[in-house]
Amino acid sequence: MSEVVIQTKDLTRVYKRDQFEVTALKDASIEIRKGEFVALMGPSGSGKSTLLYLIAAMERPTSGTIDVLGQDLRALSDKQVAQWRNIHVGFVFQSFNLIPVLTAIENVELPLLLTNLNAKERREHATTALSLVGLGDRLTHLPKQLSGGQEQRVAIARALVTDPDLILADEPTGNLDSQSAQDVLTMLRTLNQEHGKTVVMVTHDPHAASFASKARYLEKGALLPEGHVPQDWFVRPA
Amino acid sequence: MLRLLPLIFKNSLRSKRRSILTILSVTMSFTLLGVLFAMYNALYFEDPTPSQALRLITRNRISLTVILPASYKQKIKAVPGVQDLYISMWFGGTYKDQAQDQRNNFARFAVEPEDFFKVQKDLVLPEDQKQAFLKERTACLVGKRLADKLGIRLGERLVLKGDIFPGDKELMVRGIFEDPLADETLFFNIEYLYQSLPAGRRDFAGTFNILAKSKDDVSAIQRDVDEMFKNAPVQTRTETEAAFALSFVSFLGNVKVFLLVICGAVTFTILLVSANTMAMAVRERVREVGVMKTLGFTNGGILFLILGDAVVLSLVGAALGCLVASGLAAGVAANAGGFIAQFKNLSLTPPTVVFIFGFSVVVALISSFVPAMNAARTNILDTLKYSG
C-alpha cells in the first residue's frame, strides 16, 4: 500500500461574513495516497473547493488537522506556505488564470522564477512542459492568441513545470468545450498514470470524475463516507 | 529579485496608453522639478570661482539702491586683509528700444578702471584693449556674449540714455572681454559719470567691490568694514560676492521659499498622479496577484513587483524630465543669465540628476506603497474571486 500524502482529520472551515458565520466544511476526514487520482464531487456550495484550497494551503482551517506530504500545514508561516506550495503543488484553475501580458512560455516559467534555476534552465523546463501538453509550437503566443483548451493546457504546463508532487485542479474543464475538456482530462490522467502524480480534482461533472481513480462526495459541507454516493449521483469512477 | 525585473517591465507596459499618459504627467512634473532644482542648486549650492571667493561687496545697509559716500574707499582700503577695491555704480539708463527688444536690456556699471582690473581677475581682455579703456574717459568694455548677441564691434559708438542719472552717455567700445560671471555686462569709466554731474553731487558710490588677500581674510573684512561704519551716518553691509548676488535675486521676493513651495506642489502632484495610476493598475491585477500567490509568490514578492512597476514608470518619467529640463535650463541661462549671474551656466549638474532619479524612486515607493501593500496582504481566495 502506497504512502498517505494527504491526511485530514475533522477539518473545518468557517467563514465569517459580517455578523454571519458560514460553515463551508465541517469535520472532513480524508486520506489520499500517493499516485491516486481523486475527484471531489458535489453540488455547488458543498465544500469541495474549500477542501481543495485547504489542501493547497491557500486557506487556513478553522479547526482540525491537515497533513500534506508529511507537513503539518498549520505550522507553517505565510512565507513558508508560499515556498512549500511552489515546490510541492501545481494548481489548475477553472478559468486558466494566465497572465495576459506574458507569452505561453513566460507564463509557464513564472513559478520557476522562484527557484534557483538560471534563465536557460528555466526556458528549457518551460519548453519541455509545454511540449508535454502538446503546445511546443505555441511558445511565444499570448493567452489571447490561444483557444480556451490551449490556455488550459498552458495552465497545466505551468502547474507541472516545477515537477510537483501534487496536482490540484479546481473544475479544470468548467470553461471548456467537450473536446477540449476531454483533452485536458486525458492529460491529467496521463500525468497521474504515467508520471505518478497525485491528482485531486474538484468537479461536479460525472464525466470528468470518471477519469479519476476514486471519487469522494461532499454535501452541505460534509464529506460523505468513502463509497457513499448521494442518491442523485450515478457515476462510477473509470 | 532581479529575475523579476522582466516581469516588472512587462507589467509596466500592460496598458500602454495609461503608462504613456502617466509617464508624460510625471515627465512634466520632473521637468519643472529639474529646472527648479537646477535654479536652487545654482543659487544656493554652487561654489564660487577661486577669485570670486576672494571678492566682497560693500553696499548701503538700508538698500542696494541707496548710495554710499565715495570717501569710504580709503577707509576700507586700510582694513587689514583688503588687497584692492574699486567703486562701482549701477547706471541703469536705456539702450535703443530696450522696452521692445529685451536683448537691449543689459547690465551697465560705471567703475574705476585702474582698480577694476586689480579686483576682477577673472576678466580676460587683450592688453591693447585694456590700455585703450584706461586712457579714454568715454571708453567702455562689453562682455563677449553681449557683443555677440547685439552685434557690437570694437570702435562702435553706443549711446545710453540716462534715467537715474541725467543726460546721455556716448560710449566708445574699446574692449570686448570674457568673464564667465559678467559676460553680458557693460562697464564704463565712472569719471565720465561724475563729470556729468554737478560738483557737489560727485561723492558717491553704489558699491565697493573688494578683493581680499586670502580666503582667511574674507570673514574678518566682512566684520571689520561693517563694524567701522557702525556708528557712522551711513552704515554699510558687506557680504561675499556670491551672497551679494543672492541678495540681488531676493529683490524678486523670498526665492528660496518660492522655489521650495513650487517643488512641494510639484511633488504632491507627482504623488497624486502616481498613486492614482498604481491604484488603477493594482485593481486591474487583483486576480493575478491571487494566481501568483498560488504559484508560490510571497507577500514580499508581490510587494516588490507592484512597487517595481511604479518605480519603472517614475524613473522613465524622471529620465525624460531631466532631458527636457536640461533644454529648458539652457533656455533660462540664455535669457536670464545677463541679470542673475548664477543662472549664466544654469544646467542640471550630475548631482542634481542623481537627486532627481533618487527622488523619483522615493516618490514612486510612497505613492504605490498603500495599494501594493493591500494587494500583497489580500487573502488568495479573495483575490481569485475578484471580478474587477
Which ipTM was obtained for this model? Answer: 0.91
DSSP string covering B277-313: HHHHHHHHTHHHHHHHHHHT--HHHHHHHHHHHHHHH
The closest CB to that of A85, out of B287, B294, B384, belongs to B294
Q: How far is A84 from chain B (nearest CA, A)?
A: 7
| pLDDT at residue B7, rounded to an integer | 87
Take residue B214 and report the three cell numbers written for it.
586670502
Most B CBs within 10 Å: which of A99, A107, A154, A166, as the mutation test of the B interface? A99
Q: What share of chain B is helix, strand, coil (3-state, %, to 5)?
A: 60, 15, 25
**Three-state SS at A127:** helix
Take residue B146 and report the three cell numbers written for it.
553681449
The closest CB to that of B298, out of A82, A99, A158, belongs to A82
Do A154 and A143 meet the contact criterion of CB atoms below 8 Å apart?
A: yes
B160 touches A at CB < 8 Å: no
Distance, in Å, from the CA atom of B221 to the CA atom of B213, rounded to the nearest integer, reads 10
Distance, in Å, from the CA atom of B285 to the CA atom of B338, rounded to the nearest integer, reads 53
Sheet of B55-60, strand order:
B94-95, B157-161, B168-177, B139-143, B185-189, B107-111, B82-90, B207-212, B55-60, B236-240
Give chain B positions within 8 Å (CB) of A119: 3
Within a 13 Å sphere around the CA of B126, how many CA atoms are in the beta-carbon half? Answer: 8
Take residue B81 and report the three cell numbers written for it.
586683509
Distance, in Å, from the CA atom of B306 to the CA atom of B373, rounded to the nearest integer, reads 9
CATH topology of domain A4-97+164-226: Rossmann fold (3.40.50)
Most B CBs within 10 Å: which of A79, A86, A93, A101, as the mutation test of the B interface? A101
Query: A27-40 burial string, b = 16+ CB within 10 Å, else e?
Result: ebebebbbbbbbbb
B66 touches A at CB < 8 Å: no
Most A CBs within 10 Å: which of B293, B294, B298, B381, as the mutation test of the A interface? B294
Q: Which residues pair with B211 in a beta bridge?
A: B55, B84
Take residue A21 and report the three cell numbers written for it.
458565520
Any idea where the domains of chain A sit in the sequence? 4-97+164-226
Closest chain B residue by Cα to residue A87: B296
Pairs of residues, one from chain A and one from chain B, whose beta carbons lie less than 8 Å apart: 64
A115 touches B at CB < 8 Å: no
Q: How far is A206 from chain B (nearest CA, A)?
A: 25
> Looking up cell 548710495, which residue turns up?
B67
Q: How far is A98 from chain B (nearest CA, A)?
A: 8
Name the E strands within A93-221: 166-170, 198-203, 214-219
| pLDDT by residue, tens only, chain A of 238 residues | 679 999 999 999 999 888 889 999 999 999 999 999 999 999 888 999 999 999 999 999 999 999 999 999 999 999 999 999 999 999 999 989 999 999 999 999 999 999 999 999 999 999 999 999 999 999 999 999 999 999 999 999 999 999 999 999 999 998 899 999 999 999 999 999 999 999 999 998 899 999 999 999 999 999 999 888 776 665 544 4
Residue B375 CA: distances (Å) to CA of A28, B305, B366: 31, 11, 15
A99 touches B at CB < 8 Å: yes
Give the B window 129-148 contacts with A, CB below 8 Å: none
Take residue A140 and report the three cell numbers written for it.
511565444
Distance, in Å, from the CA atom of B380 to the CA atom of A59, rounded to the nearest integer, reads 8
Contact B380 A58 (CB under 8 A): yes
Q: In sequence order, what are the residues at sequence separation of 6 or more whose Cβ sits closer than 8 angstroms to the Cβ of residue B368?
A: B274, B275, B278, B282, B306, B307, B309, B310
Q: Structure pTM?
A: 0.73
The closest CB to that of A85, out of B3, B290, B296, belongs to B296
Q: In sequence order, what are the residues at sequence separation of 6 or more whose Cβ sits closer than 8 angstroms to the Cβ of residue A227?
A: none
Q: What is the largest CA-CA distance in chain B?
A: 95
Do B211 and B55 meet the contact criterion of CB atoms below 8 Å apart?
A: yes
Give chain A positions within 8 Å (CB) of B381: 53, 58-59
| pLDDT at residue B388, rounded to an integer | 47
Query: B156-171 burial string, b = 16+ CB within 10 Å, else e?
Result: eebebeeeebeeebeb
| pLDDT at residue B304, rounded to an integer | 92
| pLDDT by residue, tens only, chain B of 388 residues | 678 888 888 888 888 888 898 899 889 989 988 998 888 888 887 777 788 889 999 999 998 889 999 999 999 999 999 999 999 999 988 888 877 787 888 889 999 999 999 999 889 999 999 999 999 999 999 999 899 989 999 999 999 998 888 888 999 999 999 987 777 899 999 999 999 888 878 889 999 999 999 999 999 999 999 999 999 999 999 999 888 877 767 666 677 888 889 888 888 888 888 888 888 888 888 889 999 999 999 999 999 999 998 899 899 999 999 999 999 998 888 776 566 777 777 889 898 899 999 999 998 999 889 989 988 998 898 888 765 4
Give chain A positions within 8 Å (CB) of B14: 100-101
Contact B287 A97 (CB under 8 A): yes
Give chain A positions within 8 Å (CB) of B291: 93, 97, 99
| pLDDT at residue A238, rounded to an integer | 43
Most A CBs within 10 Å: which of B5, B295, B312, B380, as the mutation test of the A interface? B295
Q: Which residues pair with A22 in a beta bridge?
A: A15
Q: In sequence order, what are the residues at sequence separation of 6 or more whose Cβ sits closer than 8 angstroms to the Cβ of residue A53?
A: A59, B380, B381
Do B108 and B92 meet the contact criterion of CB atoms below 8 Å apart?
A: yes
Contact B10 A102 (CB under 8 A): yes
Closest by CA to B175, choosing from B246, B115, B213, B127, is B127
| pLDDT at residue B267, rounded to an integer | 84
> Looking up cell 541661462, which residue turns up?
B333
Which amino acid, B242?
A
Give the A window 120-149 contacts with B, CB below 8 Å: none
Most B CBs within 10 Å: which of A97, A98, A123, A156, as the mutation test of the B interface? A97
Closest by CA to B152, choosing from B164, B144, B160, is B144
**Three-state SS at B81:** coil
Closest chain A residue by Cα to residue B285: A99
Do A3 and A198 meet the contact criterion of CB atoms below 8 Å apart?
A: no
Give the B window 301-320 contacts with A, CB below 8 Å: 301
The closest CB to that of A114, out of B10, B288, B297, belongs to B297
Give chain B positions within 8 Å (CB) of A79: 298-300
| Dihedral over alpha carbons A62, A63, A65, A69 (to 10 degrees) | 0
| pLDDT at residue B338, rounded to an integer | 61
